Amino acid sequence: MSCKRIGIIDSGIGGLTLLKELLDHNYAAEYFYICDQANVPYGGKSQDFMLSQTQKMVKRLKEKNVDLILLACNTLTVNTISKLRESFDHPFVGIEPYLNYLNRCQEAQKQIALILTEATYKSERFSDLQTKFDHKNQVAIFPLKKMAMLIEAWGTAKKSFNEVESEIQLELSPLKNKGYTHLILGCTH
């Protein structure tokens, strides 16, 4: 299926990382990006709230006659994609934390950490991913409360990097000096 009009949804600017990848790989299409910056971050929001907001964004994208909708947001994917597929007759593609890296990484010495939002961490879908790819809980999971918002503030020039750096350092401090060799980014921000 070659998609010529692709809708992209995130809570804020995080999804732009996936749009950049699509453009860098010369995937020719018309892109329609929509996000809910009035309510970012989603990481602390309820599933019902996220579903309601995302349904509104899907309706806006359908007005643009997109062929496919990319949920460029781990939090939205694990919390809403199943319900979106039930309520809309439309192809959706999502993104989920790459836990299977544990099994794909060939390096002998590997201590893997994964950062993600709280709403991703608490979701049933993420728990299923852990059961499927990491039933021994070898990957250290770190739900972060503020990271997405800090990146959103920096990325939209509301705050300079100097203003957010110390808070980002604080968010990541539980990972410091623990010997982690790999970090999985389970959030598009």
Q: 9 with 86: CB under 8 angstroms?
A: no
Q: Residue 111 or residue 170: which is nearer to ligand DGL going by CB?
A: 170
Q: Least distance from C-beta 62 to ligand DGL, angstroms? A: 22
What Cα–Cα distance (Å) separates residue 140 from each residue in 112, 157, 175?
6, 32, 9
Is residue 3 flagged as an active site residue? Answer: no
Residues that bind ligand DGL (CB under 6 A): 10-12, 14, 40-43, 73-75, 117, 120, 148, 187-189
Nearest to 59 by CA among 34, 22, 29: 34
Q: 175 with 111: CB under 8 angstroms?
A: no
Q: Residue 22 or residue 110: which is nearer to ligand DGL going by CB?
A: 22
Is residue 73 flagged as an active site residue? Answer: yes
Q: 16 with 80: CB under 8 angstroms?
A: no
Q: Residue 6 or residue 187: which is nearer to ligand DGL going by CB?
A: 187
Q: Least distance from C-beta 170 to ligand DGL, angstroms? A: 17
Residues annotated as catalytic are 73, 187
